[in-house]
Structure 1
Amino acid sequence: MSPNALNSFFSLCIGFAIAGALASGYQALVKRPAGFGLLQQGVVARAFAAVPFLVFAAPFIIMRNTLRGRRIERRRFEFVMMATVVAGFWSLMSGTCVVLTLKAVGLLA
């Protein structure tokens, strides 16, 4: 496996791990699952503050909603595959951002 492929896989895993940790932490604090409805709250400041959270928690939310939709609504396989690719790409990008931040701070070599 090439170093670039290994780095991308590491970023993908970090992205999903961060997304899961953020969404689970939010659910533990607020006692309801996180969702994209946070952007539709009436107060503008609260919706604005939800954007950075959703940027990093979105892969987990997309996969949770997709798997629940597959089980409950019997969504087609193609839809589930497309949502999985979107969540994976989003996780890769957010994981890359986290890895680059850790490298800039000096916590990762």
Structure 2
Amino acid sequence: MSPDALNSLFALCIGFALAGALASGYQAMAARPAGFGLLGEGVAPKTFAAVPFLVFAAPFIIMRNTLRGAKIERRRFEFVMMATVLSGFWSMMSGTFFLMTLRAAGVLT
């Protein structure tokens, strides 16, 4: 495996782990699962605070909703695969951003 592929895989894993940790932490604090409905509460400070949270928690939310929809609504394989690819790409990008931030802060070399 090339170093670039390994770096992308690591960013993907970090992105999914970060998304899962954020969504689980939100669920523990708010006693309800995180979702994109946080944006539909009108113009309020907590709606603006939800945007950065959802940017990093979205891969977990997308996969959770997709897998639940596949079981409950019997969604087609193509839809599930498309959502999985979207979630994976989003996770890789947020993981890359997180790793770049850690490197800039001097935590990683």
Which amino acid in structure 1 is aligned with residue 81 of structure 2?
A: M
Which amino acid in structure 2 is aligned with residue 37 of structure 1?
A: G
Which amino acid in structure 1 is aligned with residue 65 of structure 2?
A: N
Matched with 1:30 is 30
Q: Give the aligned CA root-mean-square deviation in angstroms.
A: 0.7
Deviations 1:42-100 (A, max 9, x none): 34211111000000000000000000000000000000000000000000000000000
TM score, norm. by length of structure 2: 0.98
**Structure 2 unaligned runs (5+)?**
none
Matched with 1:80 is 80
Which amino acid in structure 1 is aligned with residue 31 of structure 2?
A: K
Aligned-pair identity in percent equals: 76
Which amino acid in structure 1 is aligned with residue 46 of structure 2?
A: R
**Structure 1 unaligned runs (5+)?**
none
Which residues of 2 match residues 83-102 of structure 1 at below 5 A?
A: 83-102=83-102
TM score, norm. by length of structure 1: 0.98
Deviations 1:4-61 (A, max 9, x none): 1110000000000000000000000000000000000134211111000000000000
Which amino acid in structure 2 is aligned with residue 31 of structure 1?
A: A
Matched, 1:59 2:80: no
- State how many pairs are aligned: 109
Which amino acid in structure 2 is aligned with residue 10 of structure 1?
A: F
